[in-house]
Amino acid sequence: MAGSDALVDAARAARAFARAPYSGFAVGAALECADGSIVSGCNIENATYGLTVCAERVALLKALSEGRDRFVRIAVVADTDRPTPPCGPCRQLLWEYCGDIEVVMANLARETGRHQLATLLPMPFDRSLLGPGR
């Protein structure tokens, strides 16, 4: 498996490609797959705001679209002193497709936090709530 430094480095590198002309809040994410490979993404904003896609979702959707379906952890990097966790929609998608993975938060210089996704999303909605056979 890739080390957490490589994962955070990949998220920092992805952040450089962020398209954040409205908020100015560039974010990079890197998702570590079970085979040790890393898929990264950055946030991409849109003038309507509602069509903006977070870095975590870009990384996840890229990985899924490339046939990857088992994940170990995700790193999220932003230029802030405080930990920057995934937003609610990102937490939901990460839970559904990744399960209780580790979430590593970092800024441009250091790691700022580390949590299991279940800690960040304590009562997730998932297929188990949809009833038998789903």
What is the distance between the alpha carbons of residues 36 and 43, in angstroms, rounded to a whole number? 23
Instruction: Determine which one of 32, 45, 56, 102 is catalytic.
Output: 56
- In order, the DSSP letters of the chain are ---HHHHHHHHHHHHTT-B-TTT---EEEEEEETTS-EEEEE-B--TTSTT-B-HHHHHHHHHHHTT---EEEEEEEESSSS-----HHHHHHHHHHH-S-EEEEE-SSSEEEEEEHHHHSSS---GGGG-TT-
- Per the annotation, the verdict on 45 as an active-site residue is no
Active site residues: 56
